[in-house]
Structure 1
Amino acid sequence: MSIDSLNWSILKCLQSNARQSNAEIGRKVGISSPAVSERIKKMEDSGIIQEYHTTVSPFEAGYQLKAIITLRAFMGKLKPFLEKVKTYDEVINCYRITGNENIVMEVVLKNQKHLEAFIDQLIIYGETKTQIVLSHVVKHNPIKKLG
């Protein structure tokens, strides 16, 4: 499915606030609510729109630390780790990457002791490096039309 300029306008609206009504989006982009609904459905069906999320503040939910942890897996440990990482509640995002490390994880933790215990679980799979996140510089930047 190609993304025409009207679909890009709809995507811009949804990326800024996915909870706005189709009528509100229609007013912004100049088409009817049913037409917005039809276009959204087609973009969902084609995989352009993949999911809708609620963003929860880790700090307000009781987590004191957010960290980026990279893992350089030991020989033979990457595949077992790829299964195990799905079970960790601390991991909010995980990427398999190229380069010296194999994995980058974004994690939330209660405190330093929690961080230490979590790293202790990881080190059986490989060498870790941890960076504490101080603040967001860019957060959920929308995907825009190439151009």
Structure 2
Amino acid sequence: MDKLDIQILSQLLNNCRKPDRQIGSEIGISGVAVKSRIQKMIDKKIIQEFALKIEPHVLGYSVLYFVVTGKDSDDILDKIRLVGEPFFVVPCVGGITVCSIVVKEDPSKKMEHAKNLLRDVRVLSIFEAKNPEIRSDLTKTDIEIIDILLKDPRQKIEEIARQSGFSTKTVARSLEKLQNDEAIQFTAIYNPKEMGDVIPFAILVGVRGDVKRTLARLDKEFSGSFLQNPFVHMNQIVLFMHTDNIYKMDDTSDRVSDIDGIDSIDLFIPKKATFLHKWVHDAIIQAKKSKRLHLAPEIHS
């Protein structure tokens, strides 16, 4: 991968529906060249798939995060499935697995159940992700379109209209709304093992004090190394970064820890990442049964 490939991948991670021509305009090449490079990254398995990431809270779920160590990540996942449906799973270098599950019932009871199930592995961290108070007003029309987009978030408006029976105007209006919705992200899943000299990594930052101010400092200092936009949740920030040298990665981690307002940092090097959508399909089935046009209040109840 060269610098242009990294820039294109970064754009797709932040919004995989962004038009090739617009990406090209922003990085200084033609839309045709962007399309060609995207196809090459797909062919080389750098881009595994395009994905729709939905914040579970807006569909009425609580979220539990786990950071555990153990050689058999599949076994860990099988145990966690006894507690709730997996949301995402990221095995990392060093036998560390970062994952999250969605649960409908009391999250504190589910957390205790998970600890008992994982007593034979080392649990580095387990916590409930508090509701980030993201506002989302999904309608039944949006839900129908989301159901189609889960198969391929980059589908053309005309194809979505054909499958849904909605007009292209209705589909275009819903897509614009969804792309501006904080709770929904059109993104991509990449394979770190196929990225050559590019090393993706993540830094989990614990913040004391003003999170927005700390994020602004991090953005000013490290935006050139961001692979995608940081994820902010309560008093934590996840920085998704890249480097071409493992020693630079360690240096970056040290520099992040020196930023005023940083309370703690944890460094993770992913081996792969998986989004799982069974819980979304279950939520969509329930949403389609609703008699209301605007579904958020009913889903939250």
Smaller-chain TM-score bracket: 0.5 to 0.7
Give the Cα–Cα distance (whole angstroms) in 2 for the partners of residues 136 and 96 of structure 1: 19
Deviations 1:22-61 (Å, cap 9, x if unpaired)? 3322332234xxx1x221233245x334288674857566
1:10 alignment counterpart: 145
Alignment correspondent of 1:86: 219
Matched, 1:41 2:175: no
**Structure 1 pair 106/63, CA: closer, same or farther in 2 (3 Å)?**
farther
> Where do 1:1-147 residues align within 5 Å?
3-4=139-140, 6-31=141-166, 35=167, 37-44=168-175, 47-50=177-180, 55=188, 57=190, 59=192, 63-73=197-207, 78-87=211-220, 88-91=223-226, 92-98=228-234, 102-125=236-259, 126=262, 127-138=264-275, 141=277, 144=281, 145=284, 147=286
C-alpha separation in 2, matches of 1:109 and 1:97: 24
Measure the CA separation in 2 of the matches of 1:122 and 1:68: 12
Aligned length: 137
Distance 2:169 2:206 in 1: 45
In 2, Cα distance between the equivalents of 1:41 and 1:120? Answer: 45
Q: Structure 1 residues 56, 90: closer, same or farther in 2, change over 3 A?
A: farther
Which AA in structure 2 matches 1:109?
T
> 1 CA distance for matches of 2:252 and 2:152?
34
**Secondary structure, counterpart of 1:85 in structure 2:** helix
TM-score, normalisation: structure 1: 0.65
Q: Residue 200 of structure 2 contacts residue 240 of structure 2 at CA under 8 Å; is this kept in 1?
A: yes
Q: CA RMSD in A?
A: 3.5
| Secondary structure, aligned partner of 1:89 | helix
CA 1:83–1:62 in 2, change beyond 3 Å: closer, same or farther? Answer: farther
Query: 1:3 offset after TM fit, Å?
Result: 1.8
Shift of the 131–61 alpha-carbon distance from structure 1 to 2, 3 Å rule, reads closer
Cα 1:137–1:22 change in 2 (3 A) is closer
TM score, norm. by length of structure 2: 0.37
SS at match of 1:48: helix
In structure 2, relative to structure 1, the CA distance for the partners of 1:48 and 1:138 (3 Å cut) is: closer
Change (3 A) 1:110 1:128: same
Percent identical residues: 15
CA distance in 2, matches of 1:109, 1:102: 22
Cα distance in 1 for residues equivalent to 2:213 and 2:138: 38
Counterpart AA for 1:96: V
Closer, same or farther in 2 for the Cα pair 1:80/1:130, shift >3 Å?
same
Q: Separation in 2 of the partners of 1:25 and 1:73? A: 42
Name the CA distance, whole Å, in 2 between partners of 1:43 and 1:29: 12
